[in-house]
Every structure is written in C-alpha cells, then in structure tokens.
Chain A
Amino acid sequence: MQYKLTTPVTAEDLAPLQAGDTVLLSGTVYTARDAAHKRMMELLDAGKPLPFPVEGSALYYVGPTPERPGEVIGSAGPTTSGRMDAYSPRLLDLGQAIMIGKGARNQAVKEAVVRNGAVYLAALGGAGALMAASVEELEIICWEDLGCEAVRRLQVKDFPLTVILDAHGGDLYESGPAAYLAARA
C-alpha cells in the first residue's frame, strides 16, 4: 500500500501503516544526526525545551552536502540510523512520531515504536540527489556550529519513504528478506 501523510501526524494516522508499505510524506521534517541528538539530550537533562515542537514530529537523520547558490539543498540521503538508537526511545516517549533514516534499529527502539504508535521509515540510502528533489525549503534552526549536522527545518513534498518498523512490531528488514527467500524456495 502507498500512503500520503502530512506532518505533524498522530498515532491514528500511523496505525494503518505496515512494514513494506510506502509513504509519500509532506510537511515539516527536522534534520538531526549524532551531535544534534546528543545536544537535545543535554537540553532535556537540563529541563529545557527542544528546538522544535516534538509532538507528532518527523526527524530525518541526514547531513546534506552544502547547497550551491540558488539551490534549496545539496545531496540529502539518509545516514545510518543505528547511531541514534541510544537517543530515540526518549524522543519517541516525548511524542516524536516518525524517524527517517536507513539501517537496523535495536530492540529498545523497536519497543518504543510499538509503545508510542510511532514508525521508522527508510529513505533511499546512497540516493542523495533523488531524496533532495522532494525538499522545497530549508532553514537552519539551531546549532549552526555543527555544520552539516546542524538542525534544519525542511519543507518536503511527497518525500518517498518505505515503512521499516510499524507500530505493530513489523520489521521489513526481517520480513522482506524472509518473504523473498520463501518465494524462491
């Protein structure tokens, strides 16, 4: 199935999604990688607010290449999500609804996804030019000193994504290869 979603989203919006479905996501998406996640944890530890409204939000694990003059964004494919595993459950428990990246997540993230009715979506790894084509606006909202890791607010239109972890415990990285091998046998 293909779904069209616009952020911010609710658990009800995400409930129908199943591992293997595709999503065309529109609206606001925030970028954050390792260093930005670390700083977000420091803010939370200090009892301070996050730099964006977390409820129903989508976070994209990406560090784009610098944009050429007159262009919105450079190349912008996903980075490996597993490096954010240490931080994601806390953000999901605070209301973050969508994680976008590539690669496997740990058990704690999978449980937090189910517990909160969230999803983990994959962007196409290594397809930075293709992913960039759906980005209409970009603004750095904080931590400019982090360079490509600064937190950016993106406006995306029909950003093409695939459901990896759904809210019901499905995991495409397990079910996809298993289905292929079963069909081949």
Chain B
Amino acid sequence: MRTISASQITDTVARLCVQANTELPPDVAAALAAFQDREPWPLARQTLGLLRDNLSLAREKNLPICQDTGMACVFVELGQDVHIEGGFEEAIHEGVRRGYGEGYLRKSIVGDPLRRVNTEDNTPAAITLRLVPGDGLTITVAPKGFGSENMSRLGMLKPADGVEGVKRFVVETVRLAGPNPCPPTVLGIGIGGSFDKVAGLAKHALLRPLDQPHPDPFYAALERELLEEINGLGIGPQGFGGRTTCLGLAIEAAPTHVAGLPVAVNVSCHVTRRATAQL
C-alpha cells in the first residue's frame, strides 16, 4: 500500500491545467505541420501556417492557445494499491480552481445547465476514474472547448448497418459540423458498449496520440479509411476549403448487445489539448 496525499494531486492537476492550455501535445503540433506540407490548396496552406504561428505566439507570450480554455476533463488511472490521504475528488476540483485562477485561464462553467450561473473558478472538473493494478497514479487533464464539443453526435445504429453504417455516421457528423468546430478537427470515435458507455469511449479516444494507430489492424485500417474519406470532403482549415479537414482520429470499440450498434463521435478541434503526469 502506497500513500499519496490530496495536496500532491491538487498541485499536479493545477500544473497540468496550465500546461495543457499553453502547449499543444507534440503529436498534434506535428500533425498540423505534416498536413501543411501536403496541403495542395493555397488558402488552406496559408491558414494552417497561421494556426501554427498561433502556437508559437502562445508559447512566446505565455497565453492560452485558444480563449476557450475548456471544461477541465480529468482522467485518472488509480492503482488499486494506492491509499489517498484526503478527499480525492475535492483535490482535483481544487487543482482546477488553482490552475485556472493562477494561469489566467477562462472560467467557462455554469453550475446548473438551465439557471446558468458561472461558478467563477471553472469547477467542477469532469472526472473519469479507472481503477488499475499496481500502486501508480496517472492523471491526464484534457481541457475541452465547446465549439467542437457542440458538434459531437451519438447514434444507436442497427447491427445491419455494419461498418458502412458507422462510416456514414462519422462522415455525416463532420459534414454537418462544417466550419463550426474550428477544423482541422480531431475525432474520438466510440463504437459498441451501451448508450452511456459509447460516449465515454469516444471521449477517451481523444487521449490517444495521433501518431498511434489502433493496435488491432482491423480498426487501424478503418481509421485510415475514415480519415481519407473525411479529407476528401473539401471543408478544409476553418471551413474555407481545402484538403485538411481532419488531423487524425482514434476509434475505441467495446463489446455490445446482440441487438445494438451504438456509435459516438466526439469532435475536437486543432487545439486538442492533453497533459499527463504520473505520481
């Protein structure tokens, strides 16, 4: 049994909130550069260049990459041999409170969806906890902007719809989103599970680095096919037209019911943020 204090968790979450919002993960930055090199349409190429300039400027001026510093989605993998001294969830909320305050990040959370009063400190965090073997603790902060979140979709397809049905649903989601989610996008795709589970799969898929294909060759091939089809839609960076509509996508699949084929697409933008630390 290993003991980790709540204050260690708070410090880590606070640091990750700031880091995630000012530095793009290397795989996402590399994808932007690679797509710019291969972009044949001049306006699109120029636009991708400006998005990359923004990354350097954010670093230089210590500014958030995007003003929507997001809902703080916090993913925790907790070793089952860890004892946490102090309140676990409150430690995370306190980390978000501190990170968003000290980091001059925007507070974008309302405490109730209909009465809509801002909580003023970006809490609560959206916490996803997984219990894993061992005595480690891994925390990922993935701030999620809502320009892209609002374009996400979930469908309860029929088993007969099959792979083609899933592809149609994903491509239709991107087409319907058009310029709204700040393309080029990143997509997290969940397939299978149940109504609630599939949305969680899609969100979790956004954590996988863009240069890592699915370990199962069947799904890796599906990821490649989908990316190619989406980048043939012509939407382009910012929706101004061009090849680069999507920088990358990741699928997570799970067992499901004989009668169902749930699919969820969590749309994210070219500022797909995540920062991870191990305690």
Binding site for B on A (CB under 8 A): 20, 62-68, 74-77, 79-80, 82, 102-104, 122, 124-130, 132-133, 147-148, 160, 162, 172-173, 175-181, 183-184
Contacts and interface: CB of A to CB of B under 8 A. Distances in A.
B178 A124 contact: no
A62 B67 contact: yes
Contacts of A62: 67
A125 B15 CA distance: 25
B108 interface: yes
Contact of B67 (A64, A103, A176): A64
Contacts of B242: 176-177, 180
Contact of A176 (B58, B68, B145, B236): B236
14 contacts: A65-B63, A65-B105, A75-B64, A75-B66, A77-B66, A80-B150, A103-B239, A124-B54, A130-B50, A132-B61, A160-B50, A172-B240, A175-B241, A178-B241
A46 B133 CA distance: 63
Interface in B205-254: 233-236, 238-243
B65 A148 contact: no
A77 B234 CA distance: 24
Contacts of B235: 177
A77 B63 CA distance: 12
B63 A75 contact: yes
Contacts of B271: 126
A79 B67 CA distance: 9
Interface string B60-96: 0111111111000000000000000000000000000
Contacts of B53: 127, 130
B106 interface: yes
The 8 closest A-B pairs by CB, nearest first: A176-B241, A125-B182, A127-B54, A177-B234, A103-B180, A129-B58, A180-B241, A128-B67
B54 A129 contact: yes
A69 to B, nearest CB: 9
A66 B180 CA distance: 24
Given A63-B106, A147-B120, A148-B106, A180 B234 contact: yes
A82 B239 CA distance: 14
A180 B239 CA distance: 11
A127 B61 CA distance: 13
A129 B41 contact: no
Contacts of B41: 180, 183
Contacts of B58: 75, 128-129
A74 B106 CA distance: 9
Contacts of A173: 178-179, 239-240
B147 interface: yes
Nearest to A83: B150
Contacts of A178: 234, 241
A85 B63 CA distance: 30
B20 interface: no
B142 interface: no
A124 B49 CA distance: 11
A130 B106 contact: no
Contact of A179 (B50, B104, B241): B241
Contact of A66 (B44, B106, B147): B106
Contacts of A104: 178-180, 239
A133 B65 CA distance: 12
B51 interface: yes
A173 B43 CA distance: 13
Contacts of A172: 239-241
A124 B147 contact: no
Contacts of A79: 68, 147
A77 B57 CA distance: 13
